């Protein structure tokens, strides 16, 4: 049955980090997900570009149950959204705003995170019912400075930058106003993945999480 929509949204907000699993084989995707679980993050986005991605989602949903909130990424049409949800995806991510994908997620009570970049696209995504707005690709257009600029006119919108999110920039994005960040190859090192080195990937993931938590603590601390 899965989590309620609000529970899924709350988990993403609480963690502040969405590891993106985009690999060249389904076997590597399973290894990456194991490392993410080992790190204790409890969230993993499996992109639909992973070979046999739906089967990967099914296997991970069976293996992890509610311990890991699984998302489907790079969802470009309603048919794929429906299939991903049936396979166990609890949230749906797109690199762009595709209304049919949003509608499919809404039908099943799953959070939707469409991609946007410009202010016009950000507003369009929010008005279409987005639960989070993926700012992509964020790195090339200014990184944390761009998020801070968007927060000026849109102080209450839940922005999730993707692209250029490293261990160093992750806390900067949070302090700039992002509710969470999403990271792929910067978090899941391809060399460690090829070697089946889950310990290294898990260690990196934990460092991301610690950096995000430290940034939030700084923001919550009373100013002197």
Q: For residue 19, give the nearest of 152, 130, 162 by alpha carbon.
A: 162
Q: Is the dihedral of CA 95, 43, 142, 159 positive or negative?
A: positive
**For 113-118, which contacts have Cβ atoms below 8 Å and span 24 or more sequence positions?**
113/71, 113/160, 115/162, 117/141
Q: Which of 5, 80, 110, 134 is catalytic?
A: 134
Q: Which of 45, 34, 50 is nearest to 88 (CA)?
A: 45
Spatial distance between the Cα atoms of 200 and 47, rounded to a whole number of angstroms = 22
Told to judge if 98 belongs to the known catalytic residues of this protein, a careful annotator would answer no
Catalytic hit among 45, 82, 90, 186: 45
Tell me whether residue 45 is one of the annotated catalytic residues. yes
Residues annotated catalytic, as ranges: 45, 134
């Amino acid at each position: 049955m899965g989590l309620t929509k609000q529970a899924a949204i709350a988990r993403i907000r609480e963690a502040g980090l969405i590891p993106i699993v985009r690999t060249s084989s389904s076997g590597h995707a399973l290894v990456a997900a194991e490392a993410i679980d080992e790190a204790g993050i409890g969230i993993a986005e499996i992109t639909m570009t992973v070979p046999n991605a739906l089967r990967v989602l099914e296997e991970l949903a069976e293996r992890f149950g509610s311990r890991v909130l699984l998302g489907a990424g790079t969802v470009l049409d309603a048919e794929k959204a429906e299939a991903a949800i049936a396979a166990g995806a609890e949230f749906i991510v797109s690199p762009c705003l595709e209304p049919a994908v949003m509608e499919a997620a809404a039908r099943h009570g799953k959070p939707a995170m469409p991609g946007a970049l410009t202010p016009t696209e950000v507003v369009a995504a929010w008005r279409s019912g987005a639960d989070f707005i993926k700012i992509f690709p964020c790195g090339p257009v200014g990184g944390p400075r761009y998020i801070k600029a968007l927060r000026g006119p849109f102080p209450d919108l839940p922005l999730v930058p993707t692209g250029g999110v490293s261990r160093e920039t992750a806390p900067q994005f949070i302090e700039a106003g992002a509710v969470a960040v999403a990271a792929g190859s910067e978090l899941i090192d391809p060399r460690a993945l090829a070697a089946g080195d889950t310990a290294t990937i898990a260690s990196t993931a934990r460092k991301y999480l610690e950096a995000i938590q430290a940034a939030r603590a700084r923001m919550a601390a009373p100013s002197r």
